[in-house]
Structure 1
Amino acid sequence: MKNPEAGAIRDRGPGARREQVRARVLAQGSARLDELATLFDVSLMTMHRDVDALEAEGWLIKTRGAATANPSALVEAGVRDRTSAMSAQKAAITAVAARLITRGQTVFLDDSTTALGLVPALVSHPPMTIATNFLPVVAEVGEVPGVQIQLLGGEYHARQEACFGRQTIEAIALLNADIFFMSTTAVRDGKCLHRSEATVMVRQAFMAHASRRVLLVDHAKFGRRAAHVLCDVSEFDIVVTDDGIDPETLADLRASCSDVRVAPVGD
């Protein structure tokens, strides 16, 4: 289906079109080049050039006939871009994960936009204590009677809108959570991977001080690569993914974790 705004985007030049292509692929996780060409009313050759340019900038990875979101780009992207990426899958995953929330819990949330989606469920179960290094969580919670926020300070990273470093890790060590919800950049060979060493260190601290650990990971992250090993998948009590995961990957995941829950997208 052709984008009704394709003509206007085309008239504004290749820069405007590439921004729309970038946003669409980051939101979906991947897209076929022929479908993008049709959507933006350009030739397939033009779309190849657009994707080549976005790949050179580090946003996308070009594969045969398709473009996928570069996981490193999503780390460097702001919260708005990360929130829009795989939004339907994240909503499905958090809907399943929300069933693990009960009144009176102390909950750790990492700086992932997937975990951020749990805030409405958390604030509906007071009394509740939420501890996080992610400022958007604080903004989402606001002032809710019976919900206490522990903002874990440290070195503030503006693009990630989160705190990292030694002080953050020390603050985590003073707490003990009933449950920790987190995501990761990539899952490969039974390991969770992340591009940022600072993020890895903070999430490892969260894991060390939580009674239960829950990994929230959409299907597009399986098979990706990232520089730093965060942990083995087997270290999680529960893994929640979406139904876009392929059967072989799901079988491997279940070999690593005994409790894997698959969220239906669109239900």
Structure 2
Amino acid sequence: MTEDATAPAVSDGAASRERREKIRQRVADEGFVQIKALAEAYDVSVMTIHRDLDVLQSKGWLRKIRGGATAQPSAMYHGDVRHRLQAMAEAKRQLADAAAGLVSPGDSIMIDESTTGLSVAELLPSRGPLTVITNFLAAVNLLAGKPDIDLIALGGAYYPAYDAFLGLRTCDAIRSLHADVLFMSTTAITNGHCYHQSQETVAVKLALMDSADRRVLLVDHSKFAKNGLHQLAPLTAFDLVIVDSGTPEEELAALRTRGVPLHVAGSDTPLP
């Protein structure tokens, strides 16, 4: 099975783009797809699929592994936003409910590109009037035109796999603003520090942290079992860390020992 070498270059380019988009969607839907299965499905060579996956991986859509491709995150790969939206949905709702209790009418709020932050954004229209600042296009689309929400969208270079704007221009835009509270999440927590997969993400999150009076980190319990490549900050750099009720007691004890300002969402303890 090989591609037609006599096909015009323009047509071949269009066909390649269409095939890669189908591959991207299939990997996101199924979580893992074998290279051999993709080659058979699209009637191309295994080497062509390898090249397709290399392109998609370079853009952050998926991760190549032995024999196939996956949408599952790793220490080097953040995970497709569609996959992230489906993960830990109940824990994210619990965290968002707790975070919303910290919001007062008139506040200015920053939200990062995390899907946990998106769960917070869903609750904000009922808490207005508010000013919301975000680099997450999904949150921009959610809040655009909502009554009592003054929305500031942070521009920059658009990263489709994150559905967010990142880079130097985004950081510059953040530094020109100031907010009452920042709600953000993290990819992984190791030894009391936050980690992420990309330097671009770390740079933007650091700028957000520097531009808010109060920093609130929202963490579901799965983050304690994951790894990241680039260190962001210690948990003690946040004014409050909110975890979900599924967080193991040993993790809670370790956080308290480190002096992390902690709240367990869904508990009877009032928010500080």
- 1:90-129 equivalence runs, <5 A: 90-129=92-131
1:94-173 to 2 correspondence within 5 Å?
A: 94-173=96-175
Instruction: Give the drift of 1:59.
Output: 3.8
Aligned counterparts of 2:135 and 2:220: Cα–Cα separation in 1? 22
> Given the superposition, is the C-alpha separation of residues 57 and 76 from structure 1 closer, same or farther in structure 2, using an over 3 Å criterion?
farther
Give the C-alpha shift of residue 56 in structure 1: 5.7
Indicate the residue corresponding to 2:190 in structure 1: 188
Change (3 A) 1:90 1:55: farther
Superposition map of 1:18-97 within 5 A: 20=30, 57=68, 59=70, 70-72=73-75, 75-77=78-80, 79-97=81-99
Residues 71 and 186, structure 1, Cα contact 8 Å, conserved in 2: no
Q: How far apart, CA to CA, are the structure 2 residues paired with 1:75 and 1:96? A: 25
Q: 1:119 is paired with a residue of what secondary structure?
A: helix
Q: Contact (CA 8 Å) 2:76, 2:197: kept in 1 or not?
A: no
**CA shift in 2, pair 1:225/1:258, >3 Å:** closer
Contact 1:58 1:70 in 2 (8 A): no
Report if the CA contact (8 A) 1:185-1:221 is conserved: yes
Cα separation, 1, equivalents of 2:70 and 2:232:
23
What CA distance in whole angstroms lies between the structure 2 residues aligned with 1:112 and 1:93? 13
- Check whether the contact 2:76–2:229 (CA below 8 A) recurs between aligned residues: no
CA RMSD of aligned residues (A): 2.6
Structure 2 partner of 1:45? none
1:102 maps to amino acid: S
Compared CA separation, residues 84 and 55, structure 1 to 2 (3 A): farther
Offset at residue 264 of structure 1 (A)? 3.9
The answer for the alignment partner of 1:8 in structure 2 is: none
TM-score scaled by length of structure 1:
0.72
Residues matched between the structures, number: 212
Residue by residue, what CA displacement relative to the aligned partner does 1:62-103 show, whole Å, maximum 9, x if unpaired?
A: xxxxxxx544587131x2211101111111111111111111
Q: Secondary structure at the match of 2:78?
A: helix
Task: Give distance in 2, aligned partners of 1:115 and 1:207.
Answer: 14
Bigger radius of gyration among the two = 2
Secondary structure of 2:127 counterpart: coil
Relative distance call for 1:111 and 1:19 in structure 2 (3 A) is closer
Deviation at 1:145, TM superposition (A): 2.4
> TM-score, with normalisation over the residues of structure 2?
0.71
- Tell me if structure 2 keeps the 8 A contact 1:181–1:213: yes
1:155 and 1:163 in contact (8 A); partners too? yes
Q: Cα deviations across residues 20-71 of structure 1 (Å, max 9, x unaligned)?
A: 576xxxxxxxxxxxxxxxxxxxxxxxxxxxxxx98764648xxxxxxxx544
1:218-266 deviation digits (Å, cap 9, x = unpaired): 111114221100001000111111122111111111233443111249x
Greater mean alpha carbon deviation, residues 119-128 or residues 178-187: 119-128
Residues 202 and 248 from structure 1, CA distance in 2 versus in 1: closer, same or farther, beyond 3 angstroms? same
**Unaligned ranges ≥5, structure 1:** 1-15, 23-52, 61-68
* Amino acid corresponding to residue 207 of structure 1 in structure 2: M
Find the partner of 2:255 among 247, 253, 256: 253
Tell me the equivalent position of 2:203. Answer: 201
